[in-house]
């Protein structure tokens, strides 16, 4: 897909039938965009959650979970819990650095402000760290979560928004 104009984006709340498109984007984006920061084993452990659709369906139903579309194709998705935690923020690997991630982030932040959330938090990968720092997040601590007996490095981050 070769598009860089974000004016043709549409946004809507994810639907249950979007789940497999979301999971495909999740797996492919991590597999390609994170290969300089994580090993093949780490990436496989990270994307293993895509094999269990039930928790994903629960998040689609319980969180503010917008999808970004171009011509009805999902090119990004994010999610925000009611406590201000950004659970997901992913953009199709082929469309990164074209403003879609910022568009999606701004959408999540606007929803948080409308919901009277005063701070956003997230667990941010090494790969996404510069993006979140650019949005005003600061590192609270370095973390090493375990996925399938494999350690992954990430960062607990926060941004005050009120």
Q: Is 34 helix (H, G, I), strand (E, B) or coil?
A: coil
What pLDDT is stored for residue 162 in this prediction? 74
69 closest CA partner among 130, 15, 135: 15
Condensed to tens digits (0 to 9), the pLDDT of residues 67-116 reads 999 999 999 999 999 999 999 999 999 999 999 999 999 999 999 999 99
Query: Model's pTM, two decimal places?
Result: 0.93
pLDDT in the model for residue 3: 42
Q: Characterize 14-52 residue by residue with b for buried, 16 or more Cβ atoms within 10 angstroms of its Cβ, and e for exposed.
A: beeebbebbbebbbebbbebbeeebeeebbbbbbeebee
Q: Which domains does the chain have, with CATH numbers?
A: 9-116 (3.40.630.30)
Q: Give residue-wise pLDDT tens across range 48-73.
A: 999 999 999 999 999 999 999 999 99
pLDDT at 43 over 60: yes
């Amino acid at each position: 897909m070769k598009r860089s104009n974000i004016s043709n984006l549409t946004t809507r709340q994810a639907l249950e039938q979007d789940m497999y498109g979301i999971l495909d984007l999740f797996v492919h984006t991590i597999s390609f965009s994170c290969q300089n920061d994580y090993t093949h084993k780490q990436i496989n452990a990270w994307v293993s959650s895509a094999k269990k659709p039930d928790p994903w369906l629960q998040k689609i139903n319980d969180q503010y979970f917008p999808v970004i579309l171009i011509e009805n194709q999902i090119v990004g998705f994010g999610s925000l819990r009611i406590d201000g935690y950004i659970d997901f923020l992913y953009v199709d690997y082929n469309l990164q650095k074209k403003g879609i991630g910022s568009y999606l982030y701004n959408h999540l932040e606007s929803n948080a402000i409308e919901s009277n959330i005063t701070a956003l938090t997230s667990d941010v990968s090494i790969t996404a760290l510069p993006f979140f720092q650019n949005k005003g997040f600061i590192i609270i601590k370095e973390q090493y979560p375990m996925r399938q007996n494999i350690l992954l490095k990430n960062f607990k981050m926060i941004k005050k928004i009120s």
